[in-house]
Amino acid sequence: MRNRFTNPSNGSFYDWQVNHSTENAFGKTRQISESANTGNTGLVKQQGDSEPLRMKLAGTIFHLAQHEQFTDWWQLCETQTIIFRDFTGDEYEVIITAYNPVRKRTIKNPRDFKNAPLWYWTYELDMEVIRVVKGSWEGVTA
């Protein structure tokens, strides 16, 4: 299954030509602090809000069209959220917070020789999850 971006406002979507190759840790953290009380009977724990659920993906782009699509979806996230579906079928409502491509020189790019004959990109893509639509984190506040 291909990763997919979907625009919830009009139903348009983009199936990635090449899925991401690595993920950073994907989970939640919460802050807990301890302070002494005035009765000197031990520490009192206070729990803060949990941090937002964030995804950090990285991979390689061989097609100019995929790089242009990522740029377009990045731009769309300036005004709205989008749906990200990963290769397992999990779905998340997200905002792309960072898209950092690095163009790399190569002797030949056989996957897109017409549009990117001598280069390809590596990238990092960061997304903040607004809502879990479907998957193992479903029901957890994003």
Residue 36's pLDDT band, with cuts at 50, 70 and 90, is confident
Number of domain units in the chain: 1
Say which residues have a Cβ less than 8 Å from residue 76's Cβ, sequence separation at least 6: 7, 82
pTM: 0.84
Return the half-sphere exposure (C-beta side, CA atoms, 13 A cut-off) of residue 63. Answer: 10
Query: Domain for residue 142, yes or no?
Result: no
- Please check the confidence at residue 52 and state whether its pLDDT lies above 80: yes
Provide the CATH number for the domain around residue 41: 2.40.30
Query: Domain for residue 98, yes or no?
Result: yes
Q: Mean per-residue pLDDT for 11-27?
A: 92
**Alpha carbon distance 99, 80 (integer Å):** 16
Q: Mean per-residue pLDDT for 72-93?
A: 97
Query: Domain for residue 56, yes or no?
Result: yes
Provide the token pair at 91: 């779905």
**Alpha carbon distance 8, 142 (integer Å):** 18
Residue 136's pLDDT band, with cuts at 50, 70 and 90, is confident
- Please check the confidence at residue 48 and state whether its pLDDT lies above 80: no
The letter for the amino acid at 116 is: A
